[in-house]
Structure 1
Amino acid sequence: MASYDVIVIGSGPGGYVAAIRCAQLGLKTACVEGRETLGGTCLNVGCIPSKALLHASHQLHEAQHNFEKMGLKVGTPKVDWAQMLTYKQETIDTNTKGIEFLFKKNKIDWLKGWGSIPEAGKVKVGDEVYDTKNIIVASGSEPSSLPGVEIDEKVVVSSTGALELGKIPKKMVVIGAGVIGLELGSVYARLGTEVQVLEFLDTITPTMDGEVQKNFLKLLKKQGLSFTLGAAVQGVETAKGKASVSYKLRKDDSEHSLEADVVLVSTGRKPFTDGLGLEALRVEISDRGQIKTNDHWQTSVKGIYAIGDAIAGPMLAHKAEDEGMAAAEVIAGKHGHVNYGVIPSVIYTHPEVASVGKTEEELKKEGRAYKAGKFSFMGNGRAKANFAADGFVKILADKETDRILGAHIIGPMAGDLIHEICVAMEFGAAAEDVALTCHAHPTYSEAVREAALACGDGAIHA
């Protein structure tokens, strides 16, 4: 019987990063994974394949709308859906094989199969039971649905099914105006699908800065997506390869229905812990199905840790990665740390949307005195040259100390630009520190500096 210092259950971003860090710290490590490939939801049916389709469909948009403006004369582009799916799969394969290489490089054993924990210090995979001093549960999450909505991954699909449709649908209804729904809705809208989004709340992306929300909604509508807000979905019926979605408007309780070729259910995700045996072990679970942990990612059972989507907090791959490294440090006798106040979030539509830290709404609720510096990409030379001048950068800073409290970006490369602010916040920087830092010209990043300047005497190009 093999024995390990650490066995990680799950090879998603949290799990594989935890395993690699444990191995780097000299711990004999194994990772349990039941899929045929490593990488979990993110690399196989989530982050990576969706970004491949977002990239491909954005190139189509550029060819249709901007090539001729730049003097690029081409014929009307045609979509080869089968080849686009092949490109998506090749992207997945490259990344998952990369994780497999890293496991071999770091001498991590891949225990192939689905794992369970019969008792503390033991992990069962298939018929084999392995001894281990520590267990890290990184089992991730799965799509959640609504009462009256049954996902068949053919007509009524989760994000997984939406990434492998047999053909591009003429009409798609997206239930839920969160990150997943808006990203995949954008993909199909660019490919020519009529996309209708139904959202229970009166706003899209509810945790987002209010000003960004309004701007984002306006831009998505301009791109052809339709929205019905305040819509409570009652059910979905399917027949002959089509779907009918029934919903009520919350404002007047009126009943409505929509017909579609495909219904994408994007109403969030829930922790996936089925089959692990946590209840029998008396591992504490919250009312929301999340594994309870302390400040060191330890569960209520000694020697069992948990990270990522399986525990509380935003279900983000990079949050899971940070927790995976931190848990590994703790197990190795070091001090693991995650700064939950500086975890960025990104929506990879076009334009991208990114945020970190507090929103204006949160600061007002806290009664904290703050100042906001804002700069539009219309004042950025690079953005205008690239037909990417929609959106803005907003930086929020403490009114007295000027310390950066948050930032919100809607615009080109927002997902990359936000990290300048993340680093600044990690070091406790003031808006003035960013404003006084030389930024290369012409770059999108100059908009960040201008927003920082706007927190003081004012932006130069506004």
Structure 2
Amino acid sequence: MADYQYDVLVIGAGPGGYVAAIRAAQLGLKTACAEGRETLGGTCLNVGCIPSKALLHGSELFEEVAHGTAAKFGVKTTGVEIDLSVLQGEKAAAVKDLTGGIEFLFKKNKIDWLKGYAQFKDAHTVEVAGTTYTAKHIVIATGSSVMPLPNVEVDNDAGIIVDSTGALALDRIPEHLVVIGGGVIGLELGSVWRRLGAKVTVVEFLDQLFPGMDGDVRKEAAKIFKKQGFELKLSTKVTGAQVEGKTVTLDIEAAAGGNAEQLKADAVLVAIGRRANTSGLGLENIGLELNARGQIETDHDFRTKVDGVWAIGDVIPGPMLAHKAEDEGIAVAENIAGLTGIVNHDVIPGVVYTTPEFAGVGLTEEAAKAAGHTVKVGKFPMLANSRAKTNREPDGFVKVIADATTDRVLGVWIIASVAGTMIAQAAQAMEFGATSEDIAYTCHAHPTHSEAIKEAAMAVQGKPIHI
């Protein structure tokens, strides 16, 4: 048997990679993690989930005091201003705290951080910053990066046409921000800058926002964002962009063609999706090919077709979500150690952290019917929920989709101020195979937003109380 330096070597220290490394080390495996960033945590902690939530929270506080419902509760203010440099400083502090925490965990678990980008030499050997390392098992966890848009060149340093990384670091509040892409990232970051004072226009190729979400949620999303002041240009594509000084002119037209026009702005965010980070890994050196979407295919245990090479997170098929990658990181480490690591990909919640929040888990109503289910649906409006009503948070609803024959819950979709927290209950119920009746007869504390889940489940049974 070969004498390897490590039992496990993880490539990438994002949510999937660092979790895989920590779990492998906990299981007694000698572990290393190769990461070329200056800090650990990947896109999520450095230029994704965490910094965006800091800006979202700060902008929510500003809007609540300056333009929101605070006055209705007797909070009187005058001359409210936003200090963008302080807000950006708080964002940086949050990132520093959390990335530093991962470094501490690496030291605590005796994980070697190989500083640099790894490239395969063979299935058990990689080169990092000019040094060769060997491992019995190598886990690819390199994540994803923003997808470019043809004829629209991103230059984050200039701060005019930016991607999500650049939109997190703007040193000014744009007068007019155009967001290309009506998905999660575009609407979250668009919300930040709209709350701080920018006019925001969203250009989306499809006829509705939030691709992949339940149809009722997508319809309601358009109403909510329009009410908040967003301009939505749906069924529209961007064909080009010209920057002159501090102004950008976008060429747009109907998605089906024709009706060309121009749109001027002082900032443009390109947020049309993400793609797997696989270039530069030297996959050709180990005979590992990509699928049609540029991803690495694995089996149920996250093995690739190359013995000893595993893959998790955004580089494999499935939703590009940090929590999915984390669960896969735990599972792959346990599988390598000879245990049984499992991820139920049918129960992966997704959340949009706007105001209100949008969340879902399981099948949409459309997908459930397409899969052959006869469904029963229960909906309950947040307007009828006592806590939401008291807090003056009337937007949204809870929708429970159940199989008409077995009553088993197939999907839950929520629009509410705390939908991201509420969806955990639905995910756990589905993980245990709950029926809508199980949820309906579970006592929920009053007054809470989560009572709306109970009522929606009761509505599946045809017996909601408060509507």
Flag whether TM exceeds 0.5 (same fold).
yes
1:254 equivalent in alignment to 2:259: yes
1:112 equivalent in alignment to 2:118: no
Identity of aligned residues (%): 54
User: Among 272, 288, 308, which residue is 1:267 paired with?
Assistant: 272
For the residue of structure 2 that corresponds to 1:289, the secondary structure is: coil
Corresponding position of 2:25: 23
User: Among 165, 169, 173, which residue is 1:164 paired with?
Assistant: 169
User: Among 136, 140, 147, which residue is 1:137 paired with?
Assistant: 140
Residue 249 of structure 1: how far off its partner (Å): 1.1
CA distance in 2, matches of 1:280, 1:289: 17
Corresponding position of 1:79: 82
1:190-205 → structure 2 map (5 Å cutoff) = 190-205=195-210
1:213-224 → structure 2 map (5 Å cutoff) = 213-224=218-229
- Give a deviation string over 1:84-139, Cα, whole Å, max 9, x none: 00010001011101111111111111111111111111121112111111100000
1:380-459 → structure 2 map (5 Å cutoff) = 380-459=385-464
Residue 338 of structure 1: how far off its partner (Å): 0.8
For the residue of structure 2 that corresponds to 1:294, the secondary structure is: coil
1:229 equivalent in alignment to 2:231: no
Corresponding position of 1:316: 321
Corresponding position of 2:54: 52
Amino acid at match of 2:80: P
Corresponding position of 1:6: 8
Corresponding position of 1:332: 337
- Give a deviation string over 1:9-43, Cα, whole Å, max 9, x none: 10000000100110111111111111111000000
CA distance in 2, matches of 1:312, 1:283: 15
Residue 252 of structure 1: how far off its partner (Å): 5.8
- Give a deviation string over 1:415-457, Cα, whole Å, max 9, x none: 1101111111111111111111111111111111111111113
For the residue of structure 1 that corresponds to 2:145, the secondary structure is: strand
Kept in 2: contact 1:284–1:300 (CA 8 A): no
Q: 1:270 to 1:252 in 2, by over 3 A?
A: closer
CA distance in 2, matches of 1:320, 1:381: 36
Corresponding position of 1:43: 45
CA distance in 2, matches of 1:251, 1:104: 55
What TM-score, normalized by structure 1, do the two folds share? Answer: 0.98
- Give a deviation string over 1:392-435, Cα, whole Å, max 9, x none: 00001111211101000001210110111111111111111111
CA distance in 2, matches of 1:341, 1:349: 24
For the residue of structure 1 that corresponds to 2:212, the secondary structure is: coil
Kept in 1: contact 2:120–2:285 (CA 8 A): no
CA distance in 2, matches of 1:73, 1:131: 64
CA distance in 2, matches of 1:400, 1:393: 21
CA distance in 1, matches of 2:175, 2:284: 45
CA distance in 2, matches of 1:241, 1:293: 46
Residue 367 of structure 1: how far off its partner (Å): 3.2
Amino acid at match of 1:416: T
For the residue of structure 1 that corresponds to 2:263, the secondary structure is: strand
Residue 280 of structure 1: how far off its partner (Å): 2.4
Deviates more, 1:377-386 or 1:363-372: 363-372
Moved over 6 A (4+): none
Corresponding position of 2:128: 125
Amino acid at match of 1:348: Y
Residue 2 of structure 1: how far off its partner (Å): 8.0
1:291 equivalent in alignment to 2:291: no
Residue 224 of structure 1: how far off its partner (Å): 1.0
CA distance in 2, matches of 1:389, 1:250: 34
Q: 1:98 to 1:328 in 2, by over 3 A?
A: same
CA distance in 1, matches of 2:305, 2:248: 45
For the residue of structure 1 that corresponds to 2:202, the secondary structure is: strand
Residue 251 of structure 1: how far off its partner (Å): 4.8
Kept in 2: contact 1:11–1:32 (CA 8 A): yes
Amino acid at match of 1:133: K
For the residue of structure 2 that corresponds to 1:340, the secondary structure is: coil
Corresponding position of 2:96: 93
Deviates more, 1:33-42 or 1:271-280: 271-280
Corresponding position of 2:69: 66
CA distance in 2, matches of 1:204, 1:378: 22
CA distance in 2, matches of 1:299, 1:207: 27
1:305 equivalent in alignment to 2:307: no
Corresponding position of 1:370: 375
Corresponding position of 1:244: 249
Amino acid at match of 2:30: K
CA distance in 2, matches of 1:82, 1:453: 48
Kept in 2: contact 1:141–1:272 (CA 8 A): yes
- Give a deviation string over 1:164-200, Cα, whole Å, max 9, x none: 0121111111100010000001111101101111011
1:33 equivalent in alignment to 2:38: no
How many residues matched? 462
RMSD: 1.2
Q: Which runs of 5+ in 2 are unaligned?
A: none
Kept in 1: contact 2:25–2:111 (CA 8 A): yes
Residue 364 of structure 1: how far off its partner (Å): 2.3
- Give a deviation string over 1:141-168, Cα, whole Å, max 9, x none: 1101111111111211100000001211
For the residue of structure 1 that corresponds to 2:32, the secondary structure is: strand
Residue 328 of structure 1: how far off its partner (Å): 0.6
- Give a deviation string over 1:228-283, Cα, whole Å, max 9, x none: 01112101111212211101113561101111111100010001112110022211
For the residue of structure 1 that corresponds to 2:334, the secondary structure is: helix
